Structure 1
Amino acid sequence: MASEATEWQLNEAQFCTLQAELATRWQPINCFDRAPRQILVVPSLSLDQEELIKIKGVHHYEERLLFSLLHLRNPNTALIYVTSQPLHPSIVDYYLELLPGIPSSHAQNRLSLFATYDGSQRPLTEKVLNRPRLIERIRQCLVPSEAYMVCFNSTVWEKQLALKLNIPLMAVPPNLLDLGTKAGSRKIFADCGLPHPQGSQLHHDINDLAQATARLWQRQPSLERIVIKLNEGFSGEGNALLRLDDLALINPSEHSDESCRKAIAKAFETMDFQCDHETWAHFSRKIHELGAIAESFIEGDIKRSPSVQGHINPSGEVEILSTHDQILGGPDGQIFLGCRFPADAAYRLELQTMGQQVGMALAKQGALERYSVDFIAVKTSPHSWELNAIEINLRKGGTTHPFMALQLLTNGHYNIDDGLFYTPQGQAKYYRASDNLQKEQYKGLLPNDLMDIIMVEQLHFNSIAGTGAAFHLMGCLSEYGKLGLTCIGNTPEEAEQIYERVVSALDQETR
């Protein structure tokens, strides 16, 4: 036990020493200095695998961070990208050809690709750690004094890999991961004084959760629904809705705590799960493993789900990157399908202010890299919206790669004063993006087939006009009929039109 404690202390000391070097190694996307740098990208979804498996084609989501190749715009930057399975050559060529101002061959010479050749349902980083020879080959590509590592989300696995390679990790330290859980988010919102729904503390016991849900209902007897959230759910798939009208015979203000608890515990078994193949037997087991909270479901005739994205650099400075109106689906509109940039002008500056508050609270505790805050916006008058903070994501998410695509393709900047994105020529840009353009008839399309359709229908991004579509998740297309895309226009309407053109073309070609 003593030797294990000593080893842990040594690892912590080494990790802290490495992290202190981030200030000189980390490179902003728009940085073009002459200092040589290497970026190791390990896009591992190191999350609960039973929750991730609910997402069709999730193992291809490692491709979403291929927009990190935009760092290769700097001729002094090299990039190493690791995946579970080898990337199709057409996919790599596609991204390299998108790079403005850099010959693709020059970028190719500074790009190294590695794969574990392991399609199992395990996090990529865990697969890498189980392959010491692969780690050694990656190490041979690195100049430790110039390199740092980025990931989709940070866990002890990413920390362990960084230690083995002796390079810092540009990500939130694993000991702070609780800040980005459902329960942790609620604490941050309370500390910042942000409006957020009433809810419960974290519970791992079904009866305790039922008791907490009953008390929430008693505090708000007018509630129509309560949402039960797994503490580490992903993309809304870990949510379930308890409809209180199904408990019409139970008046929370007139019945005892025990009778309400029993009724709710029974009603848990017939909740509306947001994942179509979820069951109570599985969900209840995940409550024991991950914990869950109960939270008031915000009703509203006109309701939206905006979000704000920020970044915390190694110096602890907080930068607001973007705002979005998320496009949600599923039985009750809680599953992330895509987004529109920017969020509505009626509330996007308020989103920025709240996002800055959260970012500063996170930075104060030592958090790093990208974070996002999801909200519910309810229209209360013709020109007024009420915002409630819902959750914090301490990772790259569904709104990360579309914004990276916009930066890659236009070389523009985000303006904090009005929440818009402008090209160097001063043209505002808008987009509609999705990870979930999915149809049965698209199955069987190979990446090369998609390239053919893109070229014939002239759907590719036009660098002269500064409009068009950029595609991702192309490896997901053949098996799942699923594709991701970011459609960029000079107006919101044009971005929507480009999206519809892509859908129409794919439908026509696969009819």
Structure 2
Amino acid sequence: MQMLNVSYLEQIDKFRNLQLTLGERWKTVEMFDNSDADILIIPSLSIDQRELRKIEGCDHYEERLLFSLIRLQNPRNRLIYVTSLPLHPSVIDYYLQLLPGIPFSHARNRLLLLSTYDASLKPLTQKILERPRLMERIRQALRLDKSFMVCYNATELEAELSLKLEVPLYAAAPDLQIWGTKSGSRQIFAQTGVPHPDGSERVWNELDLAEAAADLWERQPSLKRMVVKLNEGISGEGNALLDLRPISSLAPPDGSRSERVAAMKERFVTMRFQAKEENWENFSGRITELGAIVEAFVEGEIKRSPSVQGRITPSGDVEILSTHDQILGGPDGQIYLGCRFPADEAYRLQLQQLGLKIGRNLAQKGALERYGVDFIAVDQGDGQWDLQAIEINLRKGGTTHPLMTLKLMTNGRYGLSTGLFYSQQGRPKYYIATDNLQKERYQGLLPNDLMDIIAHHRLHFDTGTETGTVFHLMGCLSQFGKLGLTSIGDSPQQAEEIYNKVVKVLDDETPTKNNNFASLSEYALPITWDGCSC
């Protein structure tokens, strides 16, 4: 990284010193959440762009941080939101009109929307850095002594922008992002004593991967399947499933190690890849660039994929924010589609305990802001579940915006003793959320068309009952027929009923075509396999 023409170590020191001002300004959680601040939102998905392109409609995922408009509830806060392309005005109006107790015009006057007008395949942060005049406009709009920057994930690009703007970044520093990779996550699990599947360290080529797989098979001769994961794959798109059963005759238990390694290399080409149109030739090339791990597949007749989310504050405190049961799909149930809140009561408190251990370890390493941990839960009978940690996400994830939507709409609180979220009236609230309600028949619907449908069928969130649906990713709708939503109810059943009503109305309002997805009932728990939140 070359920033300000100084050495890398000096750059890191300057970046960390700038981050330290967060803790100096806001010494407690209450001060930070209720402060008078200028908040710069950079929703750049600064990850490997070839892996990102595996997600349909990813160009519009910059919209997922629009939940940050919740901070305009504080009448003293101001917010700058930068995107690659301008956001549709009706999308912004939709979010601002959801703010309870704040006049629309007052909130709108404290929101500055900026765009690079650049649709190229580059991270948004890079586009901003390439536009000095845009950076200067951002800088002039901020009260630097009261500003901080929020992003989807933190890389050297975000660190460079933070330094050039002189605005501290509220996120884990780039040199800490290793702890959010597949291999780094495994190291944290080992350090904290959190149960996780047997597996390997990161490898960089086909031969080392075959040797790591052979070693794993030798340690666990009864293993039926393994998972090969790109070290920085997202949403399960970088995963591949290796079935060992067809090759057991090629490498019998009493066979040599070289036989096992050869058998592994031979079968890599036949792995089931989770990303569409993926193949071994391309996948193996990504290994040399990103690295990969191999991990034991967690077997079980009844399995789920729960997760826990937390936050590390500028003062170093760790708080648990939520637990979820993830909704997975794809060829082998490895692709993240959505989530249910909260996670099953049989293991949600255990998830919180494990999440706290991991969060405290990350805090000691200097991490900040959101983190999430994905698990596999296997039913052991008699109400007992075995939890195995799979991955840490040091960034915003697929469960971040639904939870913030719930907080936005109810102004409620999370109860650590129960793992439930309560409205101001003390009612437990539940939701189902997805980024992936996608059907061919929805293609061609404009954001304004969606607003008409919402109004006509009264699909909007009802502030009186605090139930209903909040929509997001509306920019994906016209081209990809893809939409995100969070359906909130007073029970899990009501949340699902609200969700399914939305699907039925959209189906009825659109011409019949070949559907890609149907109602969420297709993804009903128990959920199999593991995935990671994007």
TM-score, scaled relative to structure 2: 0.93
Is residue 125 of structure 1 aligned with residue 125 of structure 2? yes
Q: Deviations over 1:457-495 (max 9, x none)?
A: 111000011000000000000000000000000000000
Aligned counterpart, 1:383: 383
Q: Does 1:343 align with 2:359?
A: no
User: Do residues 162 (structure 1) and 162 (structure 2) align?
Assistant: yes
Question: 209-218 vs 251-260, which deviates more?
Answer: 251-260
Letter in 1 for 2:257: D
The answer as to whether partners of 1:29 and 1:71 remain within 8 angstroms in 2 is no
Partner of 1:174: 174
Shift in alpha-carbon separation, 1:77–1:4, aligned structure 2, 3 A: closer
Equivalent positions of 1:38-117 (< 5 A) are 38-117=38-117
- The aligned counterpart of 1:190 is 190
Worse-matched range after superposition: 410-419 or 21-30: 21-30
Structure 1 308/366 Cα, relative in aligned 2: closer, same or farther at 3 Å? same
Is the partner of 1:98 in helix, strand or coil? coil
Deviations 1:98-147 (A, max 9, x none): 00010011000000001111111211101111111111111110111010
The answer to whether 1:311 aligns with 2:311 is yes
Amino acid at match of 1:127: K
Task: Give the match for residue 441 of structure 2.
Answer: 441
Change (3 A) 1:206 1:35: closer
Listed as ranges, the matches of 1:45-444 within 5 Å are 45-444=45-444
Listed one character per residue, the Cα deviations across residues 222-244 of structure 1 (whole Å, up to 9, x for unaligned) are: 11110000000000000000011
Q: 1:259 to 1:196 in 2, by over 3 A?
A: same
Compute the displacement of 1:248 (Å): 3.1
Q: Is the 8 A contact 2:29 2:313 kept in 1?
A: no
Is the alpha carbon distance of 1:20 and 1:262 closer, same or farther for their aligned partners in structure 2, counting shifts above 3 Å? same
One-letter identity of the residue aligned with 2:499: Y
Distance 1:30 1:334, change over 3 A: farther
The change in CA–CA distance for 1:420 and 1:237 in structure 2 (over 3 A counts) is: same
Cα pair distance change 1:10/1:207, threshold 3 Å: closer
Alpha-carbon distance change, 375 to 210 in structure 1, aligned in 2, over 3 angstroms = same
1:58, distance to aligned residue in structure 2 (A):
0.5
Counterpart for residue 475 of structure 1:
475
How much does 1:34 deviate? 7.4
1:460 partner letter: H
Q: Secondary structure at the match of 2:504?
A: helix
Asked whether the 8 Å contact 1:43–1:124 carries over to 2, the reply is: yes
CA deviation string 1:380-439 (max 9, x = no partner): 103111100000000000000000000000000000000000011101100000000000
Instruction: Return the offset for 1:3.
Output: 12
CA distance 1:382–1:132, change in 2 (3 Å): same
Amino acid at match of 1:299: E
- The answer on whether the counterparts of 2:83 and 2:114 sit within 8 Å (CA) in structure 1 is yes
CA contact (8 A) 1:81 1:114 kept: yes
SS of match in other structure, 2:121: coil
Segment drifting more, 214-223 vs 331-340 = 214-223
Letter in 2 for 1:328: L
Q: Which residue is 1:487 aligned to?
A: 487
One-letter code of the match for 2:328?
L
Preserved contact between residue 230 and residue 293 of structure 1 (Cα < 8 Å): yes
User: Does structure 1 retain, via aligned residues, the 8 Å contact 2:431–2:486?
Assistant: yes
- What SS class does the counterpart of residue 434 from structure 1 fall into? strand
Using the TM superposition, give the Cα deviation of residue 219 of structure 1 relative to its aligned residue in structure 2, in angstroms: 1.0
* TM-score, length-scaled by structure 1: 0.97
1:9 CA displacement: 4.4
C-alpha change, 1:34 and 1:438, in structure 2 (3 Å) is: closer
Q: Does 1:19 align with 2:19?
A: yes
How big is each residue's C-alpha offset from its partner over 1:148-187, in whole Å with a ceiling of 9 and x where there is no partner? 0000000000000000100100000101111110000001
Give distance in 2, aligned partners of 1:16 and 1:375.
31
Contact 2:81 2:113 in 1 (8 A): yes
SS of alignment partner, residue 305 of structure 2: strand
What SS class does the counterpart of residue 201 from structure 1 fall into? coil
Q: Aligned pairs, how many? A: 511
Q: d(CA) in 2 for partners of 1:460 and 1:68?
A: 19
Alpha-carbon deviation of 1:268? 0.5
User: Is the 1:25–1:147 Cα contact (8 Å) retained in structure 2?
Assistant: no
Q: CA deviation at 1:276?
A: 1.8
Change (3 A) 1:317 1:131: same
Deviation at 1:12, TM superposition (A): 3.0
- The alignment partner of 2:269 has SS state of helix
Letter matched to residue 116 of structure 1: T
My pick for the range that moved more, 487-496 or 19-28, is: 19-28
1:36 CA drift (Å): 2.6
Q: SS in structure 2 opposite 1:282?
A: helix
Matched residue, 2:531: none
Counterpart CA distance in 1 for 2:241 and 2:508 is: 38
Q: Which amino acid aligns with 1:38?
A: D
Seen in structure 2, the aligned counterparts of structure 1 residues 31 and 504 have a Cα distance that, compared at 3 Å, is farther
- 1:84-108 CA-partner distances (Å, limit 9, x unpaired): 1100000000000000010011000
Partner SS state of residue 97, structure 2 = helix
Q: Work out the CA distance in 1 between the residues paired with 2:423 and 2:311.
A: 21
Task: Give the Cα separation in 2 of the matches to 1:69 and 1:384.
Answer: 40
Q: Distance in 1 between matches of 2:181 and 2:300?
A: 25
In the TM superposition, what is the alpha-carbon distance from 1:308 to its structure 2 partner? 0.1
Q: Deviations over 1:336-385 (max 9, x none)?
A: 00000000000000000000000000001101100000000010103111
How far the C-alpha of 1:7 sits from its partner, in A, is 4.0
Query: Deviation digits for residues 224-270 of structure 1, max 9, x if unmatched?
Result: 11000000000000000001122131345211111111111111111
Amino acid aligned to 1:194: V
Deviation of residue 214 (structure 1)? Answer: 0.8
- Which letter maps to 1:212? A
Q: SS in structure 2 opposite 1:186? A: helix
Q: Which runs of 5+ in 1 are unaligned?
A: none
Structure 2 residue runs without a partner (length 5+): 512-534
Matched position secondary structure for 1:460: coil
2:52 maps to amino acid: L
Structure-1 separation of matches of 2:30 and 2:340: 23
> What amino acid sits opposite 2:213 in the alignment?
T
